[in-house]
A and B are shown apart, each in its own frame.
Chain A
Amino acid sequence: MNEIPRPQPASPNSLRNGPDQRGRFGAFGGRFVAETLMPLVLDLEAAYENARRDPAFRTELDDLLTHYVGRPSPLWHASRLSAVLGGARIYFKRDELNHTGAHKINNCLGQILLARRMGKTRIIAETGAGQHGVATATVCALFGLPCTVYMGTTDIERQKPNVFRMKLLGAEVSPVSAGAGTLKDAMNEALRDWVANVRNTYYLIGTVAGPHPYPMLVRDFQSVIGEEAKAQLRQAEGRLPDVAVACIGGGSNAMGLFHPFLDDPSVRLIGVEAAGKGLDSGLTAASLSRGRPGVLHGNCTYLLQDDEGQIREAHSISAGLDYPGIGPEHSWLHDLGRVEYVAATDEEALAAFQLCTRTEGIIPALEPAHALAHVAKIAPAMEKDRVILMNLCGRGDKDIFTVAEHLGVTL
């Protein structure tokens, strides 16, 4: 299960055919970038199409995923948690056990191989929680490429361990103080760097957003999560899950989990956005629940914005979900109704974080704690022979300071 297959759906009606030639998923996606970047975005698309058909590219990526990342990640039957919740059988797809502690590395390895094929000599990235920044810094260390990671000053403060980790790995962490100093601002600054250094620099985007082809190629590199989980669950349970759940900021772990199940109508897919202090508190990151379509960061998608089309600041306790947009394929799946999108608050995520830690001995990142919060809402009402698959996409070591603060503990 180590290959990163480009999904090859048999049916023209498959939900896995997107995007179209324009990089659209229905009305969403596209390539809304300045002309300076447009030629490069087209080059990237051509380079990816070429790489994807090259068996040597896959072989190298598979080898890295197996021996460097440690794939396949295990599928864990969370039996104590299932018993405590008293309903469905809950399985965790343990992408937090990957090298660097999250799913982000799957995508970074794919893209660094692409960058090398394109002859780029410098890598830039944006990061929120720092997981993508760490994964990018890691692959840059591995391939000997200089790396600059843009990170909002608010996020630098709340994700100190990851900042230090990136620096140890040799990356330059460039603080961004504009706006609220979070992921959106980091992405603006990374785009500005890219436009200024377009000839030698590869922009390694960490989520299924940005101009086409990024949403597609990041999804393809992350689909290994769902492909593996599908096979592992078939072995463990002899069937598909009834429900698959993942948290959503930009939506890369969720897209990776969901995509292989899109054409399996019996599988209910649920994406969990960060409600922040509540969906109607004005302090939320739930772009699908409280946003409307617009254009930001190269793609058309649901955005948190005011009546004038100005982008609102997002809010979440989780730096990785603190983004006012979402990947365009999610917007499309939302409008189609194929995926249900719900939300969990900061408080619910904190409670789930503790529940997971104490019942399973696994400290989850605050991001998948949002997914778990929703699992905790639905599992008790489900029959005991029902199966929930949840993507545990990151480990929580980075979050212990934030959690301690919210619990009133001084470390």
Chain B
Amino acid sequence: MSRIAARFAALRRVGRGALIPFLEAFDPDRETSAALLAGLPAAGADLIEIGVPFTDPMADGPIIQAAGRRALRAGASLRGTLAMVRAFRTADPETPVILMGYLNPILSYGPEPFARDAAASGVDGLIVVDLPAEESDLLVPFATRSGLDVIRLVAPTTDDRRLPKVLEGSSGFVYYVSITGITGTKSATVAELSANIPRIRRLTELPIAVGFGVKTPAQAAEVVSIADAAVVASSLIATLAASLDEKGHPLPGTVARVLADVAALARSVRGARAAA
């Protein structure tokens, strides 16, 4: 069983949903980013999403765009991100790590060597924003061969006719993009989630995570009362950004402040009723 499947199975046994914090690799620099990553499981992260910085993040709002710029200035690369996961894995053999990013750095690395190296580094799953089902043959065969899950995005615009095509070939979990929009802007209402999550659940056994617009502990708790996991990104990155000095360098409290936010989200998620 993959780490992702094992983690969701374990959570289902204890009857609660998952918190998936998202941070950008190398934001604001390699050392701070590694320290944050290392601290996430103890703060209450059930799974971890790591954003791979890209110059042109078309699906991201201003907060994650800025994180990507800081990261690239600090020397971020796909290779460096894999090295960071490798270091994380030496201390934590269990917490699933999912890389989320855009296709071009992967193409540049080479899809086949990338899938092999990612799996060897301890990566469990991939979310590639600009790789819809129609184009997935560029990467999915290699990912599957290396034992990586490929997590597909489902959007509010993905209608029932299209949904089976998107779910086919998905593994690990399904990522429901809860709004039509970019990251860190609008938030979906409970009514919208209650209408859409069952629509997906009817067609898949996979756990369903909800992201884009999940910001507060209360929202995260609402999400896991309907879905299986809440992905929180922009609000954590906003905390990180606010903790930096005017040059974008970390201050002594940076790591602690972000992890404190993660802990607050985790408490709220753990206190929420389990997903159906």
Contacts and interface: CB of A to CB of B under 8 A. Distances in A.
Interface of A: 22, 30-40, 178-179, 184, 188, 191-192, 195-199, 293-298, 303, 305, 307-311
Contact of A310 (B72, B103, B159): B72
Contacts of A30: 134-135
Given A192-B58, A195-B180, A196-B185, A34 B78 contact: no
B103 A34 contact: no
B105 A308 contact: yes
A30 B137 CA distance: 12
Interface of B: 54-61, 65, 72, 77-79, 102-109, 129-135, 152-159, 162, 166, 177, 180-182, 185-186
Q: Which 10 A-B pairs have the closest CB atoms?
A: A309-B108, A309-B105, A36-B155, A196-B181, A35-B153, A311-B55, A308-B77, A309-B104, A32-B130, A38-B132
A31 to B, nearest CB: 6
A307 B166 CA distance: 32
A296 B132 contact: no
A35 B109 contact: no
Given A39-B157, A195-B182, A311 B130 contact: no
A178 B58 CA distance: 12
A303 B166 CA distance: 28
B177 A22 contact: no
A337 to B, nearest CB: 24
Contacts of A188: 56-58
Contacts of A22: 134
Nearest to A189: B58
Nearest to B58: A191
A139 B55 CA distance: 32
B54 A310 contact: yes
Contacts of B72: 310
Nearest to B128: A32
Nearest to A31: B134
Given A38-B132, A308-B108, A192 B59 contact: yes
A294 B59 contact: no
Contact of A35 (B60, B158, B182): B158
B217 to A, nearest CB: 25
B132 A35 contact: yes
Nearest to B79: A308
A195 B181 contact: yes
Contacts of B181: 36, 195-196
Contacts of A33: 130, 132
Given A192-B59, A195-B182, A309 B177 contact: no
A45 to B, nearest CB: 11
Contacts of A179: 55-56
Nearest to B75: A308
A199 B181 CA distance: 11
Contacts of A191: 58
Contacts of A192: 58-61, 182
Contacts of A309: 54, 78, 104-109
B154, B157, B182 pick with most chain A CB within 10 angstroms: B157
B55, B154, B156 pick with most chain A CB within 10 angstroms: B55
Contacts of A308: 77-79, 105, 108-109
Given A305-B108, A310-B54, A35 B180 contact: no
Contacts of B57: 188
A34 B129 contact: yes
Contacts of B177: 34-36
Contact of B107 (A184, A197, A295): A295
A293 B107 CA distance: 9
A76 B258 CA distance: 66
A38 B162 CA distance: 10
A196 B180 contact: yes
B105 A195 contact: no
B183 to A, nearest CB: 10
Contact of B104 (A184, A199, A307, A311): A311
A32 B77 CA distance: 21
A39 B65 CA distance: 25
Given A192-B61, A310-B77, 7 more contacts: A34-B132, A179-B55, A192-B59, A196-B180, A297-B56, A307-B108, A309-B105
A46 to B, nearest CB: 13
A288 to B, nearest CB: 17
A115 to B, nearest CB: 17
Contacts of A297: 56, 58
Contacts of A310: 54-55, 72, 77, 104-105
A32 B182 contact: no
Contacts of B182: 192, 195-196
Contacts of B180: 36, 195-199
Contacts of B105: 308-310
Contact of A39 (B60, B130, B162): B162
Given A199-B180, A310-B105, A32 B55 contact: no
Nearest to A311: B55
B58 A311 contact: no
B97 to A, nearest CB: 20
A216 B57 CA distance: 25
A37 B108 CA distance: 24
Contacts of B58: 34, 188, 191-192, 195, 297
A188 B185 CA distance: 16
